[in-house]
Structure 1
Amino acid sequence: MNRTSQGARDTAPSHDGRPLSEDRYRRGTRRTGAEPLAASWEPTGHRRRKRRRGVKGLIAGYGWRIYAIPVLLVLTALVVLDTAAPSTIAGGETNPADPGTGASAPPTTTGPPEATEKPPVEIDLKNFPTAQLPDGPKFSEQGAGTFAVIPGTTQPAGTGGKLYRYAIAIEDGVEPADYNGDREAFARTVDGILADPRSWIGTGQVTMQRVDAEPVDFTVSLTTTSTTHAMCGFQIQFESSCWHNLSKRVVINTARWVRGGKVYGSDLSAYRTYAINHEVGHVLKNPHEGCKENGKAAPVMMQQSFGVANDYVAQLNSVDSSNRYAVEANGLVCTPNPFPVAPQ
């Protein structure tokens, strides 16, 4: 058998007269068994299209998916807004994370807070030295011993009984800061206390009227501590106010007016109400009293500037001959009370 050399096969003519070496790479022709595979870089039936630009190009390239993109963007924005907005409860009211404030919960913070709350400390009314003057602003300690009446009058307050005419004055030398720089405001405070139906007019036995000229039954006087000590005495070594019968003055100690009393805590307004009602009670010839029932409101005539525990107040009074037997040491402890008449 004669074998044709490789070279002869490569140069043999094809049926159309071209060499096999060319014919076997022509598209659509059949490869002979001895011929290698031929790969085309341009598949049959496809032509390279010219790439479109702009919106038409995007549509041609991505089809229906191009319409889904803006829809997805809108849905994402709605989800973000719904997450950030507070939820609501029935009736359309906001359901905040912090009930009662209407505010959402604050973001979580790290590290210790820069400032923390300081709630008031509960005072042991029985054993704590409640006669001590509370901490607070400075007050006038030295005055001239003379007083200036604040002009002004009121209509009678009360439903009957004896009419008491009173004036209001401030000692010369009392610093304006002790009455917030407003003499008329100090006078209005006193007027408001004495015209309160829970004060002495509420008994139906007295009527109160402010005047600024004689005759007067008593004068409510804001007084420096040194003058207070001179008029009221200082046997009990704690600041207090008093009724000075000889001068017909309700002596209100600046130390107490500015700082109040321990048993009243931070309620300065309530303490001032107590101080006025207590001393005016002496004008009406009421003596000191002790706690009557454990846990109940103290009588306004109890020495609440010192405390509301009978044992403690009795101990303080042991050095004061005028009050030595005013309170019995019987273990009773009351709660602070600034009024002589129980609210109706």
Structure 2
Amino acid sequence: MPRSRRTESGPVTRRASEERMWHRRRRTALVVLFLAGTGLVVIDAARHRPVPAPVPAAAAPSAAPTTPAAPTPAPTSAAPTPSPSPWPSVSRSPSVRPSATRSPSPVASRPVAAVAFPERGLGSFTEVTRPGRVLGTAGALRRFRVAVEDGTKQDPHTFAAEVDAILGDPRSWVAAKRFRLQRVPTGAPAEFTVYLATPATSERMCALGGLDTEGYTSCRLPGQVIINLARWLTAVPDYGAPVATYRAYAINHEVGHQLGQGHEACPASGSPAPVMQQQTLGLKGCLAYAWPYLAGRRYVGPAIP
């Protein structure tokens, strides 16, 4: 009988030895197949180049220089500093203005003076009975009368003195030296009459000549210079000059119509307003100015047809 060997597991027979051999060969074949399979995977991976998984930032090598970059400043809420303009700054010379007397600069929202006056008077007028001095130095004499509506509480002689002072000013119409003016008493022949009338009466008088003043503005009809009492006492809002300046404008403007002058426009923003501009309806960028002459010369604006 064949001899047997004893192990810790028991006796080993020939059959058992063959089985162990078969198992070793099987393991060897499996190892070979495993290695072959691993090679195929490696080859396939090299062919398709799959995207590698991201490397953690702490372990990723840096291709940047070893000098650390300056930190980016955190955004702030302040507005960015504007870039300098590519255009050079231009120094402009101030516009040249006449050197004669200039009315004050306009002020915003200048209120109308709080002066009480009647909206309507008695409709009758009192003319000044005393003559005035001759106004001007040369030319033919042109005569006028002055009348104030009754019931206005305005003294006719005071009003007449103001009219004389305005028309006799060296900046007024007599500066042309082509005529002189003189106020004459009641009943004396005259070219025109200057009336001071309440808003209601002045509106009615102007309407007889086809003019609609809405009881607000003054007007002129042939032989009649009609001054609105409300404007005489309070001027107009935002005129930017004293009431005395507006009074001089109103007299010179309406008498200018009597002398044959038409309406004119503001020549340029910031310039004095021509006396024949309708300053009561707005200065249109000009500055209040009450006189036909400026620096000894006739001051005009563009004619309005």
Query: What TM-score do you get using the length of structure 1 for normalisation?
Result: 0.51
Tell me which residue corresponds to 2:192: 218
Residues 1:337 and 2:281 are matched in the alignment = no
1:146 Cα offset (Å): 2.2
Q: For 1:39-78, what aligned pairs fall within 5 Å after superposition?
A: none
Partners of 2:192 and 2:225 within 8 A in 1: yes
Task: State how far apart, in whole Å, the 1-side matches of 2:184 and 2:236 are.
Answer: 29
- Percent identity over the alignment? 39
Residues 1:276 and 2:261 are matched in the alignment = no
Task: State how far apart, in whole Å, the 2-side matches of 1:121 and 1:152 are.
Answer: 38
- Partner deviation per Cα, 1:165-212 (whole Å, 9 max, x = no partner): 0111111222x1xx3xx4322211111111111000011122111101
Q: For 1:174-213, what aligned pairs fall within 5 Å after superposition?
A: 174=152, 176=153, 179=154, 182-212=155-185, 213=187
Q: For 1:253-264, what aligned pairs fall within 5 Å after superposition?
A: 253-264=228-239
Tell me which residue corresponds to 1:285: 260
Q: Which has the higher strand share?
A: 2
Alpha-carbon spacing, 1:253–1:135, altered in 2? closer, same or farther (3 Å): same
Alpha-carbon spacing, 1:121–1:190, altered in 2? closer, same or farther (3 Å): closer
- Partner deviation per Cα, 1:21-50 (whole Å, 9 max, x = no partner): xxxxxxxxxxxxxxxxxxxxxxxxxxxxxx
Alpha-carbon spacing, 1:281–1:263, altered in 2? closer, same or farther (3 Å): farther
Alpha-carbon spacing, 1:235–1:249, altered in 2? closer, same or farther (3 Å): closer
1:227 Cα offset (Å): 1.1
- Partner deviation per Cα, 1:318-337 (whole Å, 9 max, x = no partner): xxxxxxxxxxxxxxx21111
Q: For 1:28-107, what aligned pairs fall within 5 Å after superposition?
A: none
Paired AA for residue 123 in structure 1: A
Query: Which structure carries more relative contact order (alpha carbon 8 Å, separation 6+)?
Result: 2
1:302 Cα offset (Å): 0.6
Tell me which residue corresponds to 1:173: 151
Alpha-carbon spacing, 1:238–1:231, altered in 2? closer, same or farther (3 Å): closer
1:219 Cα offset (Å): 1.0
1:237 Cα offset (Å): 4.5
Task: State how far apart, in whole Å, the 2-side matches of 1:136 and 1:266 are.
Answer: 16
SS state at 2:275 partner: coil
SS state at 2:134 partner: coil
Partners of 2:198 and 2:228 within 8 A in 1: yes
Pairing partner for 2:279 from 289, 304, 307: 304
Pairing partner for 1:143 from 108, 121, 125: 121
Pairing partner for 2:135 from 157, 161, 174: 157
Q: Give the total of aligned pairs.
A: 188
Tell me which residue corresponds to 2:218: 241
Pairing partner for 1:122 from 82, 94, 107: 107
1:278 Cα offset (Å): 0.5
Task: State how far apart, in whole Å, the 2-side matches of 1:237 and 1:172 are.
Answer: 21
Paired AA for residue 177 in structure 2: G
Tell me which residue corresponds to 1:104: none
1:121 Cα offset (Å): 8.6
Partners of 2:171 and 2:293 within 8 A in 1: yes
Paired AA for residue 239 in structure 1: Y
Alpha-carbon spacing, 1:185–1:343, altered in 2? closer, same or farther (3 Å): farther
Task: State how far apart, in whole Å, the 1-side matches of 2:287 and 2:241 are.
Answer: 15
Partners of 2:217 and 2:231 within 8 A in 1: yes
Paired AA for residue 293 in structure 2: V
1:295 Cα offset (Å): 1.6
Q: Which one has a bigger Cα radius of gyration?
A: 2
